[in-house]
Amino acid sequence: MPANTKALLKKIEALPEERIAEIEDFVDFIRLREQQRALTRAAAVASVPAFAAVWNNPEDDVYDAL
């Protein structure tokens, strides 16, 4: 286990029980946010081929220089 993880666990263990519940809620929030961000990134990557024809056309080449 990395040293920073051990230090964090010691800090958490020193807290009262109700604070540990808050930390658990916060960790769950962060995990959910990361899952949502990963899904957003995956959707963006998956959409690139679908939008390639729209994004890459001679009429819009002037915008590539901006």
Tens digit of each residue's pLDDT (9 = 90 or more) over 31-62: 999 999 999 999 999 999 888 878 788 887 78
Rounded distance between C-alpha atoms, residue 53 and residue 9, angstroms: 51
Residues 12 and 20: beta-carbon distance below 8 Å: yes
Hey, CA dihedral for 30, 33, 37, 42, is it positive or negative? positive
What pLDDT digit, counting tens, does each position of 10-34 carry?
999 999 999 999 999 999 999 999 9
Look up residue 15 and give its DSSP letter: S
pTM: 0.63
Q: What mean pLDDT value characterizes the chain?
A: 91
pLDDT for position 25: 96
Helix (H, G, I), strand (E, B) or coil at 46: helix
